Amino acid sequence: MAQIICIANQKGGVGKTTTAINLSAALAVLEQRTLLVDCDPQANATTGVGIDKSAIDKTLYHGIIHETGAKRLVVDSDIETLKIIPSRVELIGFEVEMMSNPDREMALKHLLDELETSFDYIILDCPPSLSLLTINAMTAAHSLLIPVQCEFYALEGLGQLLRTVKRIKQRLNPKLKISGILLTMLDTRTNLSHQVAENAEKYFKHLLFKTIVPRNVKLGEAPSFGKPILLYDPDSLGALSYFSLAKEIINKYSGPN
């Protein structure tokens, strides 16, 4: 059965999609059968692995409104063991489409049930908001990975996100756990980055991954070439960081659940 990991933070620009793409790619390169599900209408995870949105027949939207089965949505990537369920702008219509559906928070969970035995890991990339799509992802997931940028105000919204997780556990998904907090965009040249990392260590030590993702030019360039960092520049600090994170994840979940 797949381990389903939701990558979420309501703050934008924290490295959420970068983490979804590159963690998925690293897991796949480490011979884990991995599915990346793009739950964001902006579809940056889709284009970030080189998929042409205009060439796609069906997207996640068609699956979660029950128009298409999950297996028909899965497309290949440049890494043999990495598959994608792509997104596109029509996913914006999901909330309106499902407004009167009493089971609306469970749509993604029901869709992914069909795929759980086909993968080792399913990674969910969420919009930068606590929308119905994000709630669907948290309801479908076994665990939550929270990227936090090493910048001013970075920890401000974390309390709200953790309260949302608590409510989802109470109402929709009692098995949801926090996999961990990932510090991203660490700029070793600035005192501020180090201060944020120290504060995170102080308040959330038990939740922090050992891996810290540095601010890295190559990580920023890779999406414009439609490649995960592991294919774009495998020797970069960004690539090494996501390999390290993937190994932490595998070690975390390789034992009994």
Structural domains of the chain, with CATH: 3-248 (3.40.50.300)
CB 58 within 8 A of CB 9: no
Identify which of 211, 214, 162, 226 has the alpha carbon closest to the alpha carbon of residue 185: 214
The pLDDT of residue 200: 73
In 49-99, at which residue ranges do the beta strands (DSSP E only) sit?
75-76, 82-85
Pairing of strands 82-85, 34-38: parallel
pLDDT score for 154: 67
**And the tokens for 168?**
């989802």
Whether residue 229 contacts residue 222, with contact meaning beta carbons closer than 8 Å, is answered with yes
Q: What is the pLDDT of residue 185?
A: 80
Phi and psi at residue 198, in whole multiples of 5°? Answer: -65, -40
Beta-strand (E) ranges in the chain?
A: 3-7, 34-38, 75-76, 82-85, 121-125, 143-149, 177-186, 208-214
List per-residue pLDDT tens for the chain, 257 residues long. 999 999 998 777 788 999 999 999 999 999 999 999 999 999 999 999 999 999 999 999 999 999 999 999 999 999 999 999 999 999 999 988 888 899 999 999 999 999 999 999 999 999 988 889 999 999 999 999 999 887 766 677 788 888 889 999 999 999 999 999 998 887 767 777 777 777 777 777 788 899 999 888 899 899 999 999 999 999 999 999 999 999 999 999 886 54
Cα 200–Cα 206–Cα 207 angle in degrees, nearest 5: 70
| Dihedral (CA of 130, 137, 193, 47) sign | negative
Q: pTM for this structure?
A: 0.94
Residues 6+ apart with CB under 8 A from 133: 39, 40, 41, 91, 94, 95, 108, 126, 127
| β-strands 34-38, 121-125 pairing | parallel
Instruction: Order across the sheet with 82-85: list the strands.
Output: 75-76, 82-85, 34-38, 121-125, 3-7, 143-149, 177-186, 208-214
* Per-residue model confidence (pLDDT) at position 254: 82
Distance CA 257, CA 253 (A): 7
Output the CA–CA distances (angstroms, integers) from residue 235 to 39, 77, 100, 227, 238, in the order listed.
29, 21, 50, 14, 8
- The alpha carbon of 155 is separated from its chain's Cα centroid by a whole number of angstroms, namely 19
Q: What is the pLDDT of residue 88?
A: 96
